[in-house]
Structure 1
Amino acid sequence: MNDSTKQEEILQSTTDAAEWNLEVERVLPQLKVTVRTDNKDWRIHVDQIHQHKDGIESSLKETRGYLDKLHNEISRTLEKINSREKYINSQLEHLVQEYRSAQALLSEAKEKYQEGSGGVTERSRVLSEVKHIFTLFLFKAGNGRERKQYD
């Protein structure tokens, strides 16, 4: 009977229930089991995708309003710029025409200058050649006795 009394002693608790509850509450945070999630589990990835999708959709709703406001403001500003540009162009059209006329005259004057400059250059080259020939002719006519300079 010795063995059976030992088993009864083991089965009968001598600890007070209130004391037991206090001890359980004290060590409860240490006893909590945390289940580690397996990052390779596809269900976790699907849940994360849904969470991210929901976050993006909520951010998009908020952002869309700001973007629409910005779009409208930019559109109005562009319309103002276009109307001002048309107004300025209409006001300055006569000056633009004068400028184009002056550019055409300048271009024509440059062409005439190039033609005239080309003619002067060609005539200077011919004159130099004639002087050289004339000098040679005088030298030969004088039989080399006395050379006169006609430059």
Structure 2
Amino acid sequence: MNEQTGHPAFRIQLSATPRGARLARRLAVAQLADWGWPYGCAVSDAAAHLVAELAANAVRHGRVRGRDFRLRLALLDHGRALRIEVTDARPERLPAPPTGPTRRTPDGESGRGLLLVEALAERWGTDAASDPCTKTVWCEIACPPPARLT
């Protein structure tokens, strides 16, 4: 339960490895199903993409040897919005996604992640955590409340 709002929240610490990133996505989808958004619905699919991207970034760019990353999901506004937070072990803030022409190749395997986050999320950003050695990348998506939260 979210201490500030009284709405459901989920939090877990995972290894900063590709396996940890995959597990973050799977756990997020399972938690959303428990909250009433079944696998394959629009909310579940958007959240899966967002968690996958933020967790992959935490593993690839925010990893510090011997330190984990954290995933937090929180329902806001009586279940009308979902906030996804991934906290990694590097305090540097992320740059804004590029606008205009870029040097990415059409077949390139990276470089589009923050564009995906920007496209799927209503809002997103970074926060310095209370621990000066971490940063949190967060995003929020609008969602119709499931029947059990209305």
TM tier relative to shorter chain: under 0.3
More strand by share: 2
Higher gyration radius (CA): 1
TM-score (norm 2): 0.18
Structure number with higher relative contact order (C-alpha < 8 Å, ≥ 6 residues apart): 2
